[in-house]
Each structure stands twice: as structure tokens, then as C-alpha cells.
């Protein structure tokens, strides 16, 4: 009985120590990198770029630890003159890397429905003299028009209302929506690279890209968030002869080929998580070059 009490006491002390350490770490970060301060990125592919610290960014980008595996793919697979669609651009960090790589002859389209995020992108890009981009203040889905957008407790993050967990929602906004097909048909350039992280609407977004996908066969990085989206995206990739390779965004880059595109989470060899998608037009040796 006494040994069990001692064990419980040690567990309680351990939990309290972890909580104290986390609070101390957060306080130290806020002291060194205060909110609204302009900071220079110290390492990584965006070294020496500037960024405004916000509740959205926190401090990870400063030390080059914001999804480093994804940044490595972007660095190795984006070239001068490319057109990039960043669907779910958030505060625009990956877009900063895209803009650097595509140069003056390329163009970056940031699809981001939240006005505050678009303003943050503009502030960060102005700091770095980035001009080869356009902010598209719209969500992307399988039909154009207007719809409800649920804003999460983290005010810089949200989802289309029909796929979000309403318990996580603190506000509803009406936002404009476009399909990628309609965006292209309106006269905009087709993408060479698409980064997609739209909180569960990835399948709907690809449904709205059926008319033009085979005309460009863009490379894609897709962040998947639920089994419903897994199935839709998997069906799209299989239909258009894409190969999918899963990777961990916050780890050293390692690829695992998705053997069964039609199987969602939690199938071990199915499609879920962060996936690099290679079209039939691209050399599969891209995987071996990174």
C-alpha cells in the first residue's frame, strides 16, 4: 500500500513538473520573442527572412522548425517560373519559400478566406519585399459561391461549416468560395505545384479540379484530416494515376509509398496524414533526390 502511494506521489510530482516546465518555456519565449515584434528567421530554408511574431506564428518559424519536412519537399521540387496554389495559406510561411524559389517569372496564389490571415500575409511579405503573389480571399471547394465558414477557438484557423466539428467553433463567417476549375477558367494560370491544407475539405477541393487536372498534372502536397477526405482524395488520385507518398511534417523527411489509395485512416498502408502526390507526368525519382 505504501509503495503504491509513493508511486502516485511521484506521478503527481512528475505531472506538476511538466506543467511548470511548459509554462516557464512559454513565458521565456514570449519574453525573447514578444508578440507583434519583427524577428529574423535564424535557420532553415528561410534563413534571414523577416517575420512578425503573432499568436498565429508563435516562435517555431524563427528557428526553422515549422514543418521542416514539407519545406524540404518544396525546396527540392519548386523551380523558377512555376505557378503555385497555396490552398489554406494561413499566415503565408510556406508561401514565402515558394515565392523565393519561383522568382519574378513565377506567381504564387494564396487561397485564404480569413481576412486577418490575409492581412498577416501582406505584412510579412512587405517586410521581405515579396511581390510575386496574389491573395485570393476565398475558400476552395467543389462549387463556387458563398458559404458559412466556422472559425475555431484559435481565431486564425477554421473550416467550411459542413465539415467542421461544431464544438470547436466560436464564430461563423460568410465567405466566398471558388473551385480551382472556375479560378482557372476565369483566366488565371494553371498550377505547377499545389499545397493544400484546408482542414478536411481537401476532397471537395479536388472535386472542383476535375476539368483541369489532366491539363497540368501539378505536383501536390496534401494534408488530410479525416477519413471522409481520405477516401475522396484517394479516389481522385487513383482516377488520375497519381502516386502518393506519406511523410511526417515535423520530422526528418522520409517517404512511405501509399499502397492502397482507396483505404482511409487507420489502414496502415492507406491514404492519410501528410502526402506528397506525384503525377504520371513527373519522374518518380523525385523521391530519391531528397
pLDDT at residue 64 in the model? 84
Alpha-carbon gap, residue 52 to 37, rounded angstroms = 6
Give 36-289's CATH code, choosing from 3.40.1710.10, 3.40.50.10320, 3.40.50.150, 1.10.10.10. 3.40.50.150
Dist CA 60 CA 43 (whole Å): 11
Tens of pLDDT along the chain (290 residues) come to 555 555 555 566 556 555 555 565 566 666 677 888 999 999 999 999 999 988 777 777 888 888 999 999 999 999 999 999 999 999 999 999 999 999 999 999 999 999 999 999 999 999 999 999 999 999 999 999 998 877 765 445 555 545 444 445 557 788 999 999 999 999 999 999 999 999 889 999 999 999 999 999 999 999 999 999 999 999 999 999 999 999 999 888 999 999 999 999 999 999 999 999 999 999 888 877 77
CA 163 to chain centre: 17
Cell of 238: 487513383
The edge-to-edge listing of strands for the beta sheet with 169-178 is: 139-140, 169-178, 145-152, 158-160
Q: Are 75 and 46 in contact (CB under 8 A)?
A: no
- The reported pLDDT for the residue numbered 161 is 44
Write down the pLDDT at residue 152.
62
Q: How far apart are CA 58 and CA 28, in angstroms?
A: 12
Give the per-residue pLDDT at 266: 95
Q: How many CB atoms lie within 10 A of CB 255?
A: 18
Nearest residue to 218 via CA among 242, 241, 245, 191: 191
In Å, how far are 56, 132, 243, 249, 276 from 255, measured between CA atoms?
Answer: 28, 31, 12, 11, 9
Amino acid at each position: 500500500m505504501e509503495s503504491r502511494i509513493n508511486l502516485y506521489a511521484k506521478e503527481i510530482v512528475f505531472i506538476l513538473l511538466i506543467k511548470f516546465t511548459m509554462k516557464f518555456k512559454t513565458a521565456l519565449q514570449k519574453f525573447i520573442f514578444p508578440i507583434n515584434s519583427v524577428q529574423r528567421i535564424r535557420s532553415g530554408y528561410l534563413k534571414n527572412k523577416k517575420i512578425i511574431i503573432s499568436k498565429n506564428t508563435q516562435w517555431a518559424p524563427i528557428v526553422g522548425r515549422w514543418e521542416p519536412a514539407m519545406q524540404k519537399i518544396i525546396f527540392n521540387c519548386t523551380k523558377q517560373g512555376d505557378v503555385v496554389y497555396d490552398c489554406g495559406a494561413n499566415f503565408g510561411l510556406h508561401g514565402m519559400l515558394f515565392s523565393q524559389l519561383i522568382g519574378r517569372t513565377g506567381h504564387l496564389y494564396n487561397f485564404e478566406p480569413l481576412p486577418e490571415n490575409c492581412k498577416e500575409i501582406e505584412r510579412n511579405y512587405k517586410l521581405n519585399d515579396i511581390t510575386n503573389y496574389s491573395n485570393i480571399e476565398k475558400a476552395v471547394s467543389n462549387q463556387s459561391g458563398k458559404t458559412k465558414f466556422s472559425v475555431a477557438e484559435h481565431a486564425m484557423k477554421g473550416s467550411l461549416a459542413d465539415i467542421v466539428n461544431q464544438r470547436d467553433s466560436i464564430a461563423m463567417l460568410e465567405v466566398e468560395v471558388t473551385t480551382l476549375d472556375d479560378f482557372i477558367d476565369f483566366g488565371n494560370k494553371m498550377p505547377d505545384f499545389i499545397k493544400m491544407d484546408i482542414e478536411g475539405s481537401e476532397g471537395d477541393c479536388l472535386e472542383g479540379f476535375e476539368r483541369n487536372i489532366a491539363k497540368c498534372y501539378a505536383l501536390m502536397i496534401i494534408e488530410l484530416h479525416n477519413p471522409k477526405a481520405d477516401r475522396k482524395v484517394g479516389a481522385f488520385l487513383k482516377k488520375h494515376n497519381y502516386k502518393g507518398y506519406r511523410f511526417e511534417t515535423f520530422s526528418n523527411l522520409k517517404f512511405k509509398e501509399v499502397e492502397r489509395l482507396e483505404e482511409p485512416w487507420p489502414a496502415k498502408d492507406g491514404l492519410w496524414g501528410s502526402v506528397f502526390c506525384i503525377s504520371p507526368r513527373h519522374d518518380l525519382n523525385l523521391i530519391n533526390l531528397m
